[in-house]
Amino acid sequence: MRLRRVAASICGLLVLLAAGCGDSSSPDPPRAYWGAWIGDQLTGTEAPWDMKAVSAFEGIAGKRASIVHLAAPFADCSQSPCSFYDFPAAAMENIRDHGSIPFFSWSSQSIPSAPDEPNFELADVISGRYDSFIRTFAEAAKGWGHPFFLRYDWEMNGNWFPWAESGNDNRPGQFVAAWRHVHDIFTDVGAGNVTWVWCPYVDGAHKLTPLAGLYPGDSYVDWTCLDGYNWGTRRSGPTTKGWQSFGDIFGSAYRELTETIAPSKPVAIGEVGSTEQGGSKAAWLADMLATLPRRFPRVRALVYFEKYDDGMDWPIETSDSAKATFAKGIAAPYYVPNDYSGLDTSLIPPP
């Protein structure tokens, strides 16, 4: 890619000095992967544990998804002793067979989840308490062998997860140390098929932990990412109140990522959704899908939050108008369909 850019620059210079150079056709416009975190409301089981849920969502959207989301914590501690989760190779393979790319949210916590989990402080990860588990997980990821996005310990700038520096007896600087520790284990075992996604929550009002001290560094991050929601009048969000457009929600954080934190990295939207309460959800979805390629050109992946959660009505099928508008917007060529069953490029490039 770098050589291509250099060649294009040289070619452009020669065009100015002489009469033409190679192919003068315009480059293809940027495109974006798209997909969803699909809940259990469609089939009774969340995707990708039930791939029929993926097909049901695609039927509503009118287009095949190039990304399918899945998530897992380190452990289930609903009973003692805790049971640690294996790498979800079968689910990953189901997604790949579908032609989509797995977008895996993995978290250093247990379920049932709480902001304070004394056994899952950042210091526990840093000290090596979970090294054996992490190494086994990383080796299994390497053994599966195909590219996937890994969104590790997302929304770290908030106060609602146990890996937040603002709670759970964590300390400033520990998030970066924990991230690098986990990343180093994956590197050590040779799990080069992992594309690391660093994903804070939008914070235009600067209410959360500043991002600069939470960024692990360019050598530890492959894509940056943002999560954000239009909470409308149903309830207030962590950093916003009232009905807001996609641009209002994401604009400030996007500029910070692309101009200050990580100017060289592509950006994903890791979670996004809108309520029906307080405005037109259909119009909001239409604006989001039209705004992304125009105002947010560095965003090259979109994961919609297709779940009922926190008492909120996020899924696109909450009204006929929302369904129709989403399908119309996602039909644009900018949003690429599922043509990735043969993807074997590590790290995952923008489409």
Specify the DSSP class assigned to residue 258: I
State the CATH number of the domain containing residue 145. Answer: 3.20.20.80
* 189 and 227 assigned to the same domain: yes
Residue 347 lies in a domain: no
Is residue 6 over pLDDT 60? no
Residue 81 lies in a domain: yes
Residue 90 lies in a domain: yes
The number of distinct structural domains making up the chain is 2
Is residue 21 over pLDDT 60? no
* 48 and 24 assigned to the same domain: no
* 228 and 151 assigned to the same domain: yes
Identify the domain containing residue 261 by its residue range: 32-330
Residue 336 lies in a domain: no
Which amino acid type is present at position 49? W
Q: What are phi and psi of 349, to 5 degrees?
A: -85, 160
* 75 and 153 assigned to the same domain: yes
Beta strands (DSSP E) in the chain are 33-38, 67-76, 83-84, 101-111, 148-152, 194-198, 223-230, 267-274, 299-306, 308-309, 312-313
Q: Are 223 and 267 in contact (CB under 8 A)?
A: yes
pLDDT of residue 179: 98
* 26 and 51 assigned to the same domain: no
* 65 and 15 assigned to the same domain: no
* 55 and 119 assigned to the same domain: yes
Dihedral sign computed on CA atoms, order 124, 76, 133, 172: negative
* 19 and 160 assigned to the same domain: no
* 97 and 182 assigned to the same domain: yes
Residue 345 lies in a domain: no
Residue 104 lies in a domain: yes
For residue range 242-282, what is the model confidence (pLDDT) as tens digits?
999 999 999 999 999 999 999 999 999 999 999 999 999 99
Query: d(Cα 131, Cα 128) in Å, to the nearest integer?
Result: 5
pLDDT of residue 205: 85
Cβ-Cβ contacts under 8 Å for 159 (sequence gap 6 or more): 115, 166, 167, 208
* 8 and 52 assigned to the same domain: no
Q: What is the pTM of this model?
A: 0.91
Hey, what are 197's tokens? 């996604």
DSSP assignment of 52-112, as one string? HHHHHHHHHHTS--SEEEEEEEEEE-SSSS-EEPPP-HHHHHHHHHTT-EEEEEEEEEEES
* 150 and 285 assigned to the same domain: yes
Q: Report the share of the chain in percent with pLDDT over 90.
A: 88
* 220 and 176 assigned to the same domain: yes
For residue range 209-230, what is the model confidence (pLDDT) as tens digits?
999 999 999 999 999 999 999 9
Residue 12 lies in a domain: yes
β-sheet bridge partners, residue 195: 149
Residue 181 lies in a domain: yes
